[in-house]
Every structure is written in C-alpha cells, then in structure tokens.
C-alpha cells in the first residue's frame, strides 16, 4: 500500500467535482483516476464514498473497490484525531448538524497514509510518506464552531489541494 508516493485521500466534494466531467467527454481523466486507484494511490474512506450520490460515480466506485478504505482500517487515527480536536480547535463536526460528515474520516485516512505517530499525529514515522488531501472545501475563518478539511490539514501539516491541482500534479493534459 505504501509503495509509491504521493498518495491521495479524496473527499466527496472533490470527487463530486470529478463526476461532473463526464467519462465520454474526458475519458483520459477517468482512466488516470482509475489507474491511480488500482495502484493504491488514490483512496477514499467509505464515509466519503457513501456521500457520492451520482450514478456514474457510484458505478466508478463499485468498479474500483480497492480505492475505498473501510473505517476499521483508519479507526485508531480517527479516534486519536477526534480526541485531540477540541483541544486544538480543529473540531470538524458541526454540532448543530444532523447529517453525517465524512470530513474527519478523510483527514484520518491521510494521517494513516502518511504513517503518523499515534502519540502525536503531527509527527511522521516515515519521512518519505506523503498523502495529499483532495477536496473542494475552503477553510473556515477564525471563531468558527467547527472547521473544514483545509483547516485540519493546515494544523497537521498535510497538503490540501483541489481537483485541478491534483490533475496538474499527475501530469494530466486532457
């Protein structure tokens, strides 16, 4: 799983943006994403995958089951992240919302893929490990009751990019 870097933890918001670019119009882009998922470099937590409602995206996810990481695999990282989030002001759950939120799972997956130390999630056990978080979200400003993925990424030193940056990094020239 940790063979070649960078790895990507993809949020549903970015994948939904990807899904708007239909495969019949952008086949090379869909092939790139499929290839990266088969190589184990592009991953989504199951909670983010569940947030994708578009039929084409659902078919793509089902066709690439190796890209979906189940909760049990990230559980220790999620538990640690949620335990320390309030103390650091990086709580990612809106206390007034009744909807599920995959955001902490997306960040926990990236921390796991970067092989972070469970005693201090800001420390890497493998300095070469690199996982970028791909999201459409923008950071929340100071004083927010909860933060977005980019805020948590900034705190943990994770690189956070959007779909266009992802495509440029991977050399896509559609």
CATH number of the domain where residue 152 is located: 3.40.50.1010
Residue 2 included in any domain: no
Q: Has residue 174 got a pLDDT over 80?
A: no
111 vs 22: which has the higher pLDDT: 111
How far, in Å, are 18, 31, 87 from residue 49 at the CA level? Answer: 13, 18, 29
Q: Is residue 1 part of a domain?
A: no
- Domain count within the chain: 1
Residue 95 domain boundaries: 7-169
Arithmetic mean of pLDDT, 154-172: 94
Residue 174 inside a domain? The answer is no
When pLDDT is averaged across residues 15-30 and rounded to a whole number, the result is: 88
Separation of alpha carbons 148 and 145, rounded Å: 10
**Tokens describing residue 117:** 């130390």
Give which of 138, 165, 17, 134 is closest to 67, Cα–Cα: 134
* pLDDT tens track for 38-58: 999 999 999 999 999 989 899
Mean confidence (pLDDT) of the chain: 90
Contact 41, 2 (CB under 8 A): no
More confident residue, 144 or 122: 122
Q: What is the pLDDT of residue 133?
A: 98
Residue 112 domain flag: yes
Whether 2 shows a pLDDT value over 60: the answer reads no
In which region does residue 156 sit, left (phi positive, over 0), alpha (psi from -120 to 50) or beta (all else)? alpha
Angle, helix 12-19 to helix 55-63, in steps of 10 degrees: 110
Percent of the chain with pLDDT strictly greater than 90: 68
pLDDT of residue 168: 93
Which tops the pLDDT comparison, 7 or 1? 7
pLDDT of 79 > 90? The answer is yes
Residue 22 within any structural domain of the chain: yes
Residue 123's pLDDT is what?
A: 96
Asked if the structure places residue 13 within a domain, the reply is yes
């Amino acid at each position: 799983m940790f063979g070649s870097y960078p790895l990507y933890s993809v949020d549903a918001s970015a994948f939904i943006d990807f899904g708007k670019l239909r495969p019949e119009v952008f086949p090379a882009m869909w092939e790139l994403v499929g290839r990266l998922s088969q190589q184990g470099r592009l991953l989504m937590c199951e909670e983010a995958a569940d947030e994708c409602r578009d039929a084409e995206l659902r078919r793509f996810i089902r066709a690439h089951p190796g890209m979906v990481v189940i909760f049990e695999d990230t559980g220790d990282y999620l538990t640690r992240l949620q335990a320390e989030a309030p103390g650091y002001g990086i709580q990612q759950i809106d206390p007034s919302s009744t909807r599920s939120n995959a955001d902490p799972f997306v960040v926990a997956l990236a921390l796991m893929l970067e092989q972070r130390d469970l005693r201090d999630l800001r420390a890497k056990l493998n300095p070469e490990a690199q996982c970028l978080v791909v999201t459409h979200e923008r950071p929340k400003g100071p004083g927010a009751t909860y933060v977005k993925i980019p805020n948590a990424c900034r705190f943990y030193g994770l690189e956070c990019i959007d779909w266009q940056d992802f495509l440029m990094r991977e050399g896509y020239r559609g």
